[in-house]
Chain A
Amino acid sequence: ELKVEQNPLFLSMQEGKNYTIYCNYSTTSDRLYWYRQDPGKSLESLFVLLSNGAVKQEGRLMASLDTKARLSTLHITAAVHDLSATYFCAVDLYNFNKFYFGSGTKLNVKP
């Protein structure tokens, strides 16, 4: 069974600070996704990482993928309050038609 673990589960940070969320997974995959979820809402797609070494950036968020280490990171630069949400990574086992989400990281950016 695939395990997708995020670290940390909860993150409280001050505006202007930097931090990284980690996503580890237990089986081979070269497709990793990041989503944002606001309370009571569905998922907003942030990044799609489709190969080893992939790095993508959008605004204050940057995601990377190391398929050999089975690790993806979501780096937050100079956090602002609007980034407060829950962030999920998801691993695509497309050969098996499975798509598994991580445990989620609840981010609270304090003004």
Chain B
Amino acid sequence: GAVVSQHPSWVICKSGTSVKIECRSLDFQATTMFWYRQFPKQSLMLMATSNEGSKATYEQGVEKDKFLINHASLTLSTLTVTSAHPEDSSFYICGGGSEKRYFGAGTRLSVL
């Protein structure tokens, strides 16, 4: 099946710093990528949909300025958590694809 590569898999950062998470589609062209966050033992909450070459669409309640999404090419979407705080600590997952939807291995973010 198609592969989505997500990097890094785990990141620890200090409060106030910014963290970038990359999501690459390795064998398909992703005009759209979905970004989720998942708290322990909970479901995946859709944060935003990134669109190649245009602005991302954010879900209600998600801060656009805090979670910056860029989708500059058909194979790369990035999520930058700006001025991270401990409450941003979570598991972030990206995914895409057309008929089949594939997901990356996830990024565990810990903000100290």
Residues on A close to B: CB < 8 A?
1, 33, 35, 41-43, 45, 48, 50, 88, 90, 92, 97-104, 106
Q: What size tier do the contact residues of chain B reach?
A: 20 to 34
- A50-B101 Cα distance, complex, nearest whole Å: 12
What are the 4 tightest A-B residue pairs by CB atom distance, in nearest-first order? A101-B44, A43-B103, A42-B105, A42-B106
A88 pairs with B34, CB closer than 8 A: no
* Complex contact B100–A43 (CB within 8 A): no
* Contact indicator B101/A45 (Cβ below 8 Å): yes
User: In the complex the two chains form, is A50's CB within 8 Å of B99's CB?
Assistant: yes
Known: A43-B103, A48-B99, A90-B101. A99 touches B46 (CB 8 A): yes
Number of A-B contacts (CB under 8 A): 47
B99 contact set on A, CB distance < 8 A: 48, 50
With both beta carbons as reference points, the residue of chain A lying nearest to B42 in the complex is identified as A104
Chain B residues touching A, majority SS: strand
Least distance between A86 CB and chain B CB atoms (Å): 8
Check B83 for interface membership: any CB of A closer than 8 A: no
B59 CB → nearest A CB, Å: 8
Out of A35, A45, A50, A97, name the residue touching B51 (CB < 8 Å). A97
Interface residues of B in 3-27 (CB under 8 A from A): 6
Report Cα–Cα, A90/B1, bound state, in Å: 18
A64 to B6, CA, bound (A): 31
Chain B residues within an 8 Å CB radius of A43:
93, 95, 103
Q: Are A99 and B104 in touch, CB under 8 angstroms?
A: no
Q: Mark B68-104, 1 if CB is under 8 A from A, else 0.
A: 0000000000000000000000000101000111111
